[in-house]
Structure formats: C-alpha cells, structure tokens
C-alpha cells in the first residue's frame, strides 16, 4: 500500500545551518547525504514524500548559502514521488509539483489536514489553511514540534527534519504522534496566541 511521508527544511547545501542550528553533522555534504538516504530507504516507488518548504536555494555557492546544482538533479534518484511545497528559501527552485499549500485526508480520525511551509500564526500563511483543525508545517526548525494556535484553534505539527532525527516521518508515525497529543489536556500543550498584535507563547514545551 502506498504511504505518505512528510518533512521540511532540508536546506540542501546551506552549511551556515550547521553552526546556526547546531546540526549533528561534520559537513553539509554529510547532512545532505543523510537526508537523501532517509528518502531512498524509507519511501518506495509508489509512495509520496511531501517536503514542506526550504529544500534549498539554487544559484548560490555551495558551502556558503546554497546549492550550485539544480535541485531536481539532487533528488532525481529518489524513487518516490517528491512534492515540494514552496518555502521562503525556495524562490529559485525548479522542482516539479511545487505549490504554496494543500489539503489532504490523513486518516478517518484526521480527515482534514492542511500543509504549508508556515505555521498558522505566520502572516504569510495561505488563508485556505485556516479551515482545517490540523496543520502540518516547517519553517520553525527546532523551536517546537507541536503548537496549539489558540487564535485560529488549529493544532500545528512541525514536520521539519531536525525535529524527527533528520528522517522523513511516515503517515503512521504522524498519526501515532497526533493520537498521543489528543490525550493531553489543552493546558498541557505548547500554545500560542496574540495580545496587542504581539505573538505570545506559553504552556508546556515538553513532548
């Protein structure tokens, strides 16, 4: 049976991220290889990988701020269908199936899920994402794995690779995580809301 996999913020070729984010790799090449290996080993030919933005920045020097090869050349050996949802570092990407957001049926318990690079509290969010009760995103890197947006009453799940051991996460793994969260009380979740135009975070960040 075909499977869905999710991730975000691969940032291929962006070596600055190794120090900025304290990623556990000795070089950006090892980082890139680990992510590609995860895609190739976990996802099969009939599967789909949804990458939620910031795949890379094409046209910048490798080792500085981006790739010196075209992004679709980098992912061409992945047998699964690879869909990249546009992020703020994807302006020059030419990867097939690029879009800004989408909606999907995840399971019977979670039939309405939106996908975008940005969390729902970000001003750049596609407004169509604000109608689903669960939203998958990237962009926030290691800030949090889940966040309950109290203004929109939407649960955000960060599928960024750094939050999942630099591996793509399967639909079953994501569903298991959601099941775990829905056993918690609202005040046990990491939450955010706005006050006087400012974004306020509170609650328990622990997973």
* pTM of the predicted structure, to 2 decimals: 0.91
Give the per-residue pLDDT at 154.
Answer: 97
Give the per-residue pLDDT at 109.
Answer: 96
Give the per-residue pLDDT at 207.
Answer: 45
Give the per-residue pLDDT at 3.
Answer: 96
- Nearest alpha carbon to residue 114 among 33, 172, 62, 50: 50
Give the per-residue pLDDT at 88.
Answer: 86
Print pLDDT tens along the chain (207 aa): 799 999 999 988 887 788 888 888 998 889 999 999 999 999 999 999 999 999 887 655 444 455 555 666 778 889 999 999 988 887 666 665 578 999 999 999 999 999 999 999 999 999 999 999 999 999 999 999 999 999 999 999 999 999 999 999 999 999 999 999 999 988 889 999 999 889 999 865 544
Token pair for residue 21?
A: 């984010």
CA pair distance 126, 149, nearest whole angstrom: 15
- DSSP letters of 13-63? T-THHHHHTT-S-SSHHHHHHHHHHHHHHH--TT-EEEE-S--B-BTS-TT
Domains and CATH numbers, the chain: 4-203 (3.60.21.10)
SS3 assignment for 139-186: CCCCCCCEEEECCCCEEEEECCHHHCCCCCEEHHHHHHHHHHHCCCCH
CA pair distance 192, 121, nearest whole angstrom: 8
């Amino acid at each position: 049976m075909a499977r869905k996999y999710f991730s975000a913020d691969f940032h291929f070729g962006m070596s600055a991220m190794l120090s900025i984010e304290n990623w556990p790799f000795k070089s950006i090449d090892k980082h890139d290889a680990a992510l590609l290996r995860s895609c190739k080993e976990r996802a099969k030919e009939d599967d789909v990988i949804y990458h939620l933005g910031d795949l890379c920045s094409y046209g910048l020097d490798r080792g500085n701020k981006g790739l010196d090869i075209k992004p679709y050349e980098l992912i061409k050996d992945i047998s699964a269908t690879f869909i990249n949802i546009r992020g703020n570092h994807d302006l020059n990407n030419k990867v097939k199936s690029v879009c800004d957001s989408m909606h999907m049926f995840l399971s019977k318990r979670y039939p309405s899920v939106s996908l975008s690079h940005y969390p729902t509290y970000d001003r750049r969010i596609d407004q169509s994402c604000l109608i689903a009760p669960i939203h998958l995103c990237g962009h926030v890197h290691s800030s949090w794995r889940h966040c309950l947006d109290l203004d929109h009453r939407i649960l955000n799940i960060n599928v960024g690779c750094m939050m999942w051991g630099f591996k793509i996460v399967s639909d079953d793994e994501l569903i298991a995580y959601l099941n775990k969260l829905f056993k918690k009380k609202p005040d046990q979740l990491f939450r955010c809301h706005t006050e006087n135009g400012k974004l306020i975070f509170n609650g328990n960040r622990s997973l």
